[in-house]
Amino acid sequence: MRIGLVAMSGIRACDEELLRLGLTLPGFVERSKTIASLPSLGLLTLAGLTPARHECVYVEVEDIRKLERPPDGFDLVAISSFSAQMAEGYALADQYRALGVPVVLGGLHVTALPDEAARHADAVVVGEGEPVWRTVLDDAEAGRLQPRYGSDGHYPLDQAPMPAFELLDLDRYNRLTVQASRGCPWHCEFCASSILLSPRYKQKPAERVLAEIDRIRSLWSHPFLELADDNAFVNKPYWRGLLSALQGRHVRWFAETDLSIHEDDELLGLMRDSGCAEVLIGFESPVLDGLTGLELRSDWKRRRWPEYREAVRRIQAHGIRVNGCFVLGLDGHTPDVFDAVHDFAVATELFDVQITIQTPFPGTPLYDRLRREGRLLYDGQWERCTLFDINYRPQPMTVEELRAGFHSLGVRLYGEELTRWRRENFNRKYLRHARHVEESES
Ligand code: B12
Ligand code: SF4
């Protein structure tokens, strides 16, 4: 079979004022450019599992948009899914099916809402794709696709295939993703990441991760990697081994983590020496309001709140930039939270800062709770699940206060002056530690 793997990519927001105001600011544009062109690791992983008798063709949806008709010649089309772009995914699926090409849909959104997705597909895959992908292919080849395939989140990552990075036109990407773990121990109420696929935290053996990195290095002379882990470094001894082995491989990389790394000087040193350019840390709230009950199992972030500022200082002192993330509109947030984020960014001299609006993604405990409480606005308008649009009634703020505060904070944070000040401070204080990063990014 000739299989079309269609990746939904790109950065989106619906709020027009925000697009006009905020998303054109230097700090935001830079970050958007950096991440906008990531390929779908999910589809590359499935391609890596596909028996050699089939041919896989990897297509970005933005390329299809430029065409009058979607590319043809496929015996099967597989489309990945995030909520924000689901409508476009469904429309494409409908088009292919009208042409008689069977379509299989999978990914995070389909996992959350398989019945909705089933209206646009010959088959939907719920959960991780690896355990069922070969069965899907065999069934498609034999003309007996089942409407639904499911996995239970227990796929062992020591069986993980090598993602088919060679399918990519590497010139168009500035980063590639590698995944060393799925899940996260903290279970935040709003989390819509791989926790939806793998409720239990699991780790890929380090030698497999290194093999993926080496594969990328063999294809790409100046690799920049983004770890697609929800929360890397949970297992610190694992990372000490992996990072030691990574030294000398000349890669630069970025990861999402919780702040616990700040306590571990040895780990921070290994991170820096193995090419870590930046870590993204979900602080979520600069004030205690909003942190209580944020996680379903513990108040880990609330307990760690007194360490927030020191954590940024210690990590950046190792020459590793911190991108501090804040979720605005958490229950308990008042309009004071906007100044508090600004003050935190200034006081800690965060290299990067990311603000998003709390978003009830389908499939999350937050979505279920806000629905029960009658607080969802625009339910079902998944294109608004962008992290920048307001889809619910916050408490105690009003929707208008949240929107206006978010806009003006964006203007203040991402304006040229503060962005330059934050960057220059980092470079002046810590550049000698981060020399390898600066050189490699020039
Ligand atoms: C890399 C990334 C991106 C890349 C996406 C590249 C791509 N085309 O995949 C870029 C930068 C483009 C991106 C953009 C956006 N992203 Co993003 N991104 C991530 C990130 C960091 C990693 C995702 C990843 O690679 N996972 C690893 C792979 C292996 O997992 P997977 O894709 O889920 O695939 C597995 C299964 O789902 C399944 N599967 C997936 N697709 C298919 C298809 C078929 C046919 C089958 C059978 C199975 C299958 O099999 C795979 C293997 O098990 C996550 C956060 C995180 N740490 O997880 C956020 C995340 C996925 N992004 C998110 C969001 C909100 C966005 C944006 C809306 C942001 C914005 N405002 O623009 C856009 C939306 C883009 C879109 N098209 O809709 C949310 C999505 C929530 C949701 N449920 O929809 C996440 C979880 C982050 C968060 N804060 O909550 N993102
Ligand atoms: S810490 Fe981050 S990855 Fe972990 S559950 Fe919370 S939001 Fe998800």
List all residues 6 or more positions away from 216 whose beta carbon is below 8 Å from its beta carbon: 165, 176, 178, 223, 225, 251
pLDDT-derived band of residue 60, with 50, 70 and 90 as boundaries? very high
List all residues 6 or more positions away from 374 whose beta carbon is below 8 Å from its beta carbon: none
Is beta strand 76-79 parallel, antiparallel or unpaired with respect to 55-60? unpaired
Domain endpoint, select from 150, 184, 202: 150
Give the distance (Å) from ligand 2 centre to CA of residue 54. 37
Can you tell me the mean pLDDT for 18-31?
A: 62
**How far apart are the C-alpha atoms of 386 and 361, rounded to whole Å?**
9
**How far apart are the C-alpha atoms of 388 and 210, rounded to whole Å?**
35
**How far apart are the C-alpha atoms of 131 and 438, rounded to whole Å?**
41
The pLDDT value given to residue 440: 42
**How far apart are the C-alpha atoms of 3 and 50, rounded to whole Å?**
10
Whether residue 230 sits in one domain with residue 118: no
For ligand 1, atom 53: residue with the closest CA: 128
Please name which of 185, 209, 184, 183 lies closest in space to residue 197, comparing C-alpha atoms.
Answer: 183
pLDDT-derived band of residue 27, with 50, 70 and 90 as boundaries? low
Which range of residues forms the domain containing residue 83?
Answer: 2-14+39-150
3-state secondary structure of 275: coil
Give the distance (Å) from ligand 1 centre to CA of residue 214. 23
Please name which of 112, 108, 64, 43 lies closest in space to residue 82, comparing C-alpha atoms.
Answer: 108
Instruction: Please indicate whether residue 195, judged by its CB atom, sits closer than 6 Å to ligand 2.
Output: yes
The pLDDT value given to residue 12: 73
**How far apart are the C-alpha atoms of 93 and 112, rounded to whole Å?**
18
Instruction: Please indicate whether residue 213, judged by its CB atom, sits closer than 6 Å to ligand 2.
Output: no
For ligand 2, atom 7: residue with the closest CA: 191
Is beta strand 252-257 parallel, antiparallel or unpaired with respect to 224-227? parallel
**How far apart are the C-alpha atoms of 322 and 345, rounded to whole Å?**
10
Report pLDDT digits (tens) over 375-417: 999 999 999 999 999 999 999 999 999 999 999 999 899 888 9
The pLDDT value given to residue 392: 98
Q: CB-hemisphere CA count at 13 Å for 239? A: 25
- For residue 403, being part of any structural domain is answered with yes
Q: Which atom of ligand 2 is nearest to the CA of 295?
A: 6
Give the distance (Å) from ligand 2 centre to CA of residue 281. 10
For ligand 2, atom 8: residue with the closest CA: 191
Give the distance (Å) from ligand 1 centre to CA of residue 313. 30
Query: In this structure, what CATH number is given to the domain that contains residue 219?
Result: 3.80.30.20
For ligand 2, atom 1: residue with the closest CA: 186
Report pLDDT digits (tens) over 328-372: 999 999 999 999 999 999 999 999 999 999 999 999 999 999 999
* Pure H helices in 318-415: 336-348, 365-372, 399-414
Whether residue 221 sits in one domain with residue 132: no
Give the distance (Å) from ligand 2 centre to CA of residue 379. 23
**How far apart are the C-alpha atoms of 232 and 230, rounded to whole Å?**
6
Instruction: Please indicate whether residue 271, judged by its CB atom, sits closer than 6 Å to ligand 1.
Output: no
- For residue 421, being part of any structural domain is answered with yes
Instruction: Report the number of distinct structural domains present in the chain.
Output: 2
Q: What is the pTM of this model?
A: 0.95
Instruction: Please indicate whether residue 84, judged by its CB atom, sits closer than 6 Å to ligand 1.
Output: yes
Please name which of 364, 397, 377, 393 lies closest in space to residue 112, comparing C-alpha atoms.
Answer: 364
In Å, the largest CA–CA distance within the chain is 63
Whether residue 114 sits in one domain with residue 219: no
Can you tell me the mean pLDDT for 213-218?
A: 97
Q: Which atom of ligand 2 is nearest to the CA of 282?
A: 2
- For residue 101, being part of any structural domain is answered with yes
Report pLDDT digits (tens) over 112-132: 999 999 999 999 999 999 999
3-state secondary structure of 60: strand
Instruction: Please indicate whether residue 9, judged by its CB atom, sits closer than 6 Å to ligand 1.
Output: yes
Domain endpoint, select from 133, 150, 167: 150
**Whether residue 422 has pLDDT greater than 60:** yes
For ligand 1, atom 37: residue with the closest CA: 107
Whether residue 191 sits in one domain with residue 137: no
Whether residue 182 sits in one domain with residue 130: no
- Strands of 16-97 (E only): list them: 55-60, 76-79
**Cα–Cα distances in angstroms (integers) from residue 230 to residues 168, 184, 297, in the given order:** 24, 6, 17
Query: In this structure, what CATH number is given to the domain that contains residue 47?
Result: 3.40.50.280
Please name which of 254, 353, 405, 427 lies closest in space to residue 28, comparing C-alpha atoms.
Answer: 353
Whether residue 413 sits in one domain with residue 319: yes
Give the distance (Å) from ligand 1 centre to CA of residue 265. 31
Please name which of 122, 37, 49 lies closest in space to residue 79, comparing C-alpha atoms.
Answer: 122
Report pLDDT digits (tens) over 238-297: 999 999 999 989 999 999 999 999 999 999 999 999 999 999 999 999 999 999 999 998
Q: Which atom of ligand 2 is nearest to the CA of 301?
A: 1
Instruction: Please indicate whether residue 257, judged by its CB atom, sits closer than 6 Å to ligand 2.
Output: no
Whether residue 324 sits in one domain with residue 417: yes
DSSP summary character for residue 119: T
- For residue 363, being part of any structural domain is answered with no
**How far apart are the C-alpha atoms of 253 and 428, rounded to whole Å?**
22
**Whether residue 163 has pLDDT greater than 70:** yes
pLDDT-derived band of residue 437, with 50, 70 and 90 as boundaries? very low
For ligand 1, atom 85: residue with the closest CA: 193
Domain endpoint, select from 98, 133, 150: 150
pLDDT-derived band of residue 441, with 50, 70 and 90 as boundaries? very low
Give the DSSP H or E segment for 281.
Answer: strand 276-284
Whether residue 258 sits in one domain with residue 205: yes
CB distance 193 to 53 below 8 Å: no
- For residue 380, being part of any structural domain is answered with no
Structure tokens at 217: 């290095």
- For residue 308, being part of any structural domain is answered with yes
Report pLDDT digits (tens) over 66-109: 888 889 999 999 999 999 999 999 999 999 999 999 999 999 99
Instruction: Please indicate whether residue 362, judged by its CB atom, sits closer than 6 Å to ligand 1.
Output: no
- For residue 275, being part of any structural domain is answered with yes
Whether residue 135 sits in one domain with residue 48: yes
Whether residue 200 sits in one domain with residue 242: yes
Q: Which atom of ligand 1 is nearest to the CA of 229?
A: 57
Mean confidence (pLDDT) of the chain: 92
Whether residue 185 sits in one domain with residue 124: no
Whether residue 346 sits in one domain with residue 225: yes
Beta bridge partners of 79: 6, 105
- For residue 156, being part of any structural domain is answered with no
Residue with the two structure tokens 């940024």: 312
pLDDT-derived band of residue 25, with 50, 70 and 90 as boundaries? low
